[in-house]
Amino acid sequence: MIPAQIDLSQWGGIAVALVPELFLTGWALVLTLVIAWRHHSDADQQVVGRLALVGLVVTLALVVLYWIRAPEPAGLELMIALDGFRWAVSSVFLLGAILAVALSLHYLPRERIAVPEYYVLLLLATLGMLFMGSGADLVVIFLGLELMSVSVYVLAGINRRSIFAAEASLKYFLLGAFAAGFLLYGIALLYGATGTTNLTMMYLQISGLALQSNTMLVAGIALLLIGFGFKVAAVPFHMWTPDVYDGAPTPVTGFMAAAVKAAAFAALMRILVQGLSPMSGVWTEVVWWLAAVTMVGGNLIALVQGHLKRMLAYSSIGHAGYLLAAVASGTDLGTAAMLYYVLVYTLMTVGAFAVLAAIGRDGEREVRIEDFNGLASRRPWLAFAMTVFMLSLLGFPGTAGFIGKWYILSAAVEGEQAVLAIVLVGASILSAGYYLPVIMAMYMKPAASEDAHEGTVAVGAARWIIGMTAALLLLFGVWPNRVLDLARHESRDLRPAVMITVSR
């Protein structure tokens, strides 16, 4: 039974608050023992994958149960947050992980990747994300980020037969370690300026001692934004993204583009809004420029990509810019827009990569837009689903992507950032130059040969993933009210605890 109030100053209360994370940790350890016992055949790997899927589904059920019961902290949240924002973002992380595991069940045997530890690494990366979303202290957030990052470094290079996967893993590891140094140094400066790493106490120290012009604090925020700029693939910290996304196995790429990005944005939003809101005059302008440059840069470079996987990689950079626009607004509406957009972005990104995995082979690096020629005449339902994903990524009316971008535009206008809203609209128009050619190739161009697309089949769970994500994107495009209401409600919980207490 979940108590109505949880005392987070006692170890027992912390254990109750961390039940989903503790369960996932224990399940990952159990899977490690299973792998030590059964690791010789594809059938053994399938068993591990299905067990990983069960563990993630149960963890999601626990998160939803806590979300419904809505326990409140008895006193100050010292290390772990206990609010609706935590449960909302945790649900998105777990959804992304479930989709990635389900997509991998058929993909790994097809690509001859016989590494059952793959699924344990996915669970550990998801565990790190959960701590990033639930951390009320910079130390907890950093530990969660590193657990996620180290796991994803290995996942990017899990295909040991591919030199491109090895290159992706090495680049991601070296640049990730470099960025982690900036992040940790930034945390150290924030601690030096405020005397605490707890986000609520940091808010009180900055407000009470009038530290808005403190040089050490400003430098700490700058280094913090550099570290997170790398994690969210913001320009100019995006250099690793195309090569890593291109070389990693496609389910891992989808997982990185969706869940990993969502975790980084959730942690960044919590830090800026809950701990550093008195410094909004400093970080808002920086995030504004990061958002503008990232939207324009990501979409411009995506225009000249001929290979679909690299095009989606640069597309993800552009979408990071849209999410940064929500962060830059610094309002409750901006937080709600971020929550909604990471959900729909997870659906449309994983769906697009699932179709890409059905079309291609050998890591899908060589799949070009021309390879989609005539797909609608041979595989009409697959072409229809890909059309939904491309239109939603574009932000076409009637899809969830349109509602998400409209929500971000509303947040930018409310935050008196009309110029950034105009940049967002212009960047979205620009993106039509690379999303629409995919649809044109499927419906308006003939197939290259009579036997083209004979091997293009979505098998097993991939078929359900493609169908479910496309259906949800259309549903949320015409009936987004319930999800938007949830996003608005949980965004208010992200305000510092002292502000919430006063407003009540």
73-125 pLDDT, tens digit per residue, is 887 778 888 888 999 999 999 999 999 999 998 888 888 888 889 999 999 99
Query: Stretch 206-231: mean pLDDT, rounded?
Result: 90
- Percentage of the chain lying above the pLDDT 70 cut: 96
pLDDT score at 3:
79
Cβ atoms of 245 and 209 within 8 Å: the answer is no
Mean pLDDT check: name the lowest of 198-212, 263-277, 364-378, 419-433: 364-378
Average pLDDT over residues 47-51: 91
- Residue 368: pLDDT band by 50, 70, 90 thresholds? confident
- Predicted confidence band of residue 26 (pLDDT cuts 50, 70, 90): very high
Predicted confidence (pLDDT) per residue in 470-494, tens digit: 999 999 999 988 888 888 888 887 7
Q: Two tokens at 172?
A: 């991601």
Instruction: Output the six-digit token pair for 202.
Output: 């940091």
* Three-state SS sequence of 222-246: HHHHHHHHHHCCCCCCCCCHHHHHH
Per-residue pLDDT band at 238 (split at 50, 70, 90)? confident
The confidence score (pLDDT) of residue 36 equals 86
Q: Which one has a higher pLDDT value, 306 or 457?
A: 306
Q: Which residue matches tokens 């990524």?
A: 393
CA pair distance 250, 252, nearest whole angstrom: 5
pLDDT of residue 363 exceeding 70, the answer is no
Q: Which of 38-42, 255-259, 279-283, 297-301 has the lowest mean pLDDT?
A: 38-42
For position 40, what pLDDT does the model report?
72
Q: What are phi and psi of 80, to 5 degrees?
A: -120, 135
- Structure token digits, residue 126: 């998801």
Given a cut of 60, whether residue 502 has pLDDT beyond it is no
Q: What's the pLDDT at 243?
A: 87
Q: What is the mean pLDDT of residues 332-341?
A: 91
Q: What is the pLDDT of the chain when averaged over all its residues? A: 88
Query: How far lies 418's CA from each of 272, 414, 423, in Å?
Result: 21, 9, 9
Residue 449 confidence (pLDDT):
72
Q: Are 419 and 427 in contact (CB under 8 A)?
A: no
pLDDT (0 to 100) of residue 207? 86
Reading phi first (left if > 0) and then psi (alpha if -120 to 50, else beta), residue 362 is in: left
Domain ranges (residues) in the chain: 5-503
pLDDT tens digits along 120-144: 999 999 999 999 999 889 999 999 9
* pLDDT tier at 291, thresholds 50, 70, 90: very high
Does 496 score more than 70 pLDDT? no
Q: Please write the tens of the pLDDT for every residue from 250-282.
A: 899 999 988 999 999 999 999 999 888 888 888
Report residue 459's pLDDT band, with 50, 70 and 90 as the boundaries.
confident
Residue 32: per-residue pLDDT:
92
For 201-230, what is the mean pLDDT? 90
Q: What is the pLDDT of residues 50-66, one digit of tens each?
A: 999 999 999 999 999 99
What percentage of residues in the chain have a pLDDT greater than 90?
A: 51
Residue 73 and residue 408: Cα distance in Å, rounded? 31
For residues 381-405, average pLDDT: 92
Task: Give the integer Cα–Cα distance in Å for 218 and 235.
Answer: 21
Residue 364 has pLDDT above 70, yes or no: no
Q: Grade residue 226 by pLDDT with cuts at 50, 70 and 90.
A: very high
Tokens 């037969």 correspond to 161
Sorting pLDDT into bands at 50, 70 and 90, what band is 25?
very high
Q: Is 30's pLDDT higher than 90?
A: yes
Confidence of residue 362 (pLDDT cuts 50, 70, 90): low
* Residue position matching structure tokens 């996620």: 148
